[in-house]
Amino acid sequence: KNEVEQSPQNLTAQEGEFITINCSYSVGISALHWLQQHPGGGIVSLFMLSSGKKKHGRLIATINIQEKHSSLHITASHPRDSAVYICAVRRGGGSNYKLTFGKGTLLTVNP
Amino acid sequence: EPEVTQTPSHQVTQMGQEVILRCVPISNHLYFYWYRQILGQKVEFLVSFYNNEISEKSEIFDDQFSVERPDGSNFTLKIRSTKLEDSAMYFCASSGITSSYEQYFGPGTRLTVT
């Protein structure tokens, strides 16, 4: 069983729609990352959070440590939001902060 | 804004050849990582590096792989004898106290082994 599960795997939306991507994890963590990856491209960190909620522009990330669950929301989605969104968890501390990744959610926003 | 850089962006090599992938982490970061992503699969951890030594390595990181921080700015990943299955995108990342250990990723090197 994967330590990090994302849903849905694929998501198609119309421009302007509210988007939610979910991430569940099965291990204790020290932090959770939401990352964005464009096709064939690099990885950009959107959020790192260990509790509560963070907001950046149209993006909102929440985490419930007790439930081992996080959500990424995109308000007023736009075609440029089309990308793969990846949840990754950080378990370690000390000298190792390696990340364990989910498989990603492919988001397509149509105009 | 400081960023992680990687060179080359694309490397094509023949099976059995040695390759070195280079990364320049963000300058005041102390923790360094290599990850890889085989086409169509999820990103996987390879190795973490701190204080001039490996902190942790995955099962993928066998004797064919090595890492080095040769001059205090570069961070390299060497694959001694490449195999077809080493074809992947390799990402370098760095983190530090100044970023609350949030990892910043480089743009990746696409390695193609023929």
Which tens digits make up the pLDDT trace of A5-49?
A: 999 999 999 999 999 999 999 988 889 999 999 887 789 999 999
Of A62, A2, A63, A59, the closest CA to residue A27 belongs to A2
Tell me what pLDDT residue A92 has. 67
Closest approach of chain B CAs to the CA of A110, in angstroms?
22
Burial class (CB in 10 A: 0-12, 13-18, 19+), A47: buried
**What type of residue sits at position B74?**
N
Residue with the larger pLDDT of the pair B2 and A24:
A24
Residue B50, φ and ψ in degrees, nearest 5: -150, 140
Contact A90 B101 (CB under 8 A): yes
Tell me what pLDDT residue A40 has. 74
Residue A95 has pLDDT above 60, yes or no: no
Contacts of A40 (CB under 8 A, 6+ apart): none
**% of chain A beyond a pLDDT of 90:** 82
Three-state DSSP at B79 gives: strand
Tell me what pLDDT residue A62 has. 98
Three-state DSSP at A101 gives: strand
Tell me what pLDDT residue A91 has. 84
Q: Which residues of chain B have a CB within 8 Å of the CB of A34?
A: none
The strand ranges marked E within chain B are 5-7, 10-13, 19-24, 31-37, 44-50, 53-57, 65-68, 75-79, 88-95, 104-105, 109-113
> Using omega within 30 degrees of 0 as the cis cutoff, is the peptide bond preceding B107 cis?
no
Contacts of B5 (CB under 8 A, 6+ apart): B23, B24, B106, B107
For B64-95, how does the pLDDT look when each residue is reduced to its tens digit (9 = 90+)? 999 999 887 899 999 999 999 999 999 999 99
Q: Which of B45, B100, B104 sits opposite A98 (nearest CB)?
A: B45
For A72-92, how does the pLDDT look when each residue is reduced to its tens digit (9 = 90+)? 999 999 999 999 999 999 986
